[in-house]
Structure 1
Amino acid sequence: MPRCNWCGSDPLYIAYHDHEWGVPTRDPQVLFEFLLLEAFQAGLSWITVLRKRERYRQVLFGFDAERLAIMSDAEIDERMQDPGIIRNRRKLEAARGNARAWLRLDDPAGFVWSFVGDVPKINRFARIDQVPAVSAEAEAMSKALKKAGFSFVGPTICYAYMQACGLVMDHLIDCERHAALAGSIPSGAGRVDAV
């Protein structure tokens, strides 16, 4: 299967590329999980986070926002001793704070999707160097998330989040997933930016 070359040959990365990345999701639980994972990824490679994802699910209560919002400082201290996660106190505290901010949103999925007008943006990039690290939509999302009390949500993180959750679809045009995902959006529903 032709794939985007960034996923390399790691089976975990290939599975993520083939089954998750760029697939539109409106599931609040999935959207919340990816928001936290993208924050943990800040300054690191995505494969590092993918390799620790299952452990994060275990230590962060299955990404249950309600439980995570009341995580105690002692529980954060415990997690700081766990070699199975990225041990960064600021990021763990941000996960707790972001859970609280998430719970304050009336409609988290609607909020997230509002930055792309509620329809996926389908890009048509031929080369990885054409894929942006930031977009106007990601900058707007970052600003709104920060205003709502979120942290570790800069524009670059927000763009990666939008890619992960299918708000924007950046599979390269020669990748089999591009055709599959672009074809799954009802005619006229997606916006297409050609390069």
Structure 2
Amino acid sequence: ATKLIKSFRYMNKKAIKLIMLLGLFSCCTSDGNKENSELECTVEIRNKDLVEAITDYQDFLYKDNKKYIEQGDSIYVGIASKDINDSIYRYVVFPVYDISDIKYHAPFDLCKVNGHYVIFSHDNAHPIFPIERRFCRITDSAVQEYAKLLFPKEYEMLNKKERHVIRLYEPKNCYLTFFGDSLIDKTNKQGMIRDAIPIMLNGEEVYL
């Protein structure tokens, strides 16, 4: 299996086409009025399999949380990227439903799919460390600005010092494995973003 994976390194790399329009953390408002403006989206997702997987996850997520959304709670789809080697890539689709998630999944960019914000986390950008030990962290002021527009109900409760109960919600993540720009495996399971997933490569099962 190791030799098989290494052999992919000699093939032409075909990354999923993501256009980075601006740098990390450049999600600002266009008219200066942050109370009434939307956050700027800095990423465009152009791979049809990835868009389809996000769409399916949105349908599930918003249906599963319909009661909470009607009460004013916010929930979003998050994506974490991971390069397995020069040719194989992993994208994990997961829920983001609390202000504290913003800290854990930074650094990230924002995009929109089907009119909904999607948080595109650059999972490769930080090691597996507690937040206080990571090489890069989102600033407290940036957290406040994101929270104000992404989680307005929670933000208002916290600023009024009202009690906010964190809702535990752990649905299955969607693990998408690509060889170049072709989807070769889709696995739905509960777990961590960095979990290895068994996939079939040339008739052999390997964990990636």
Superposition TM-score, scaled by structure 1 size: 0.25
Superposition TM-score, scaled by structure 2 size: 0.24
The structure carrying a bigger strand percent of its residues is 2
The structure carrying a bigger helix percent of its residues is 1
Higher RCO, 1 or 2 (CA under 8 Å, sep at least 6)? 1
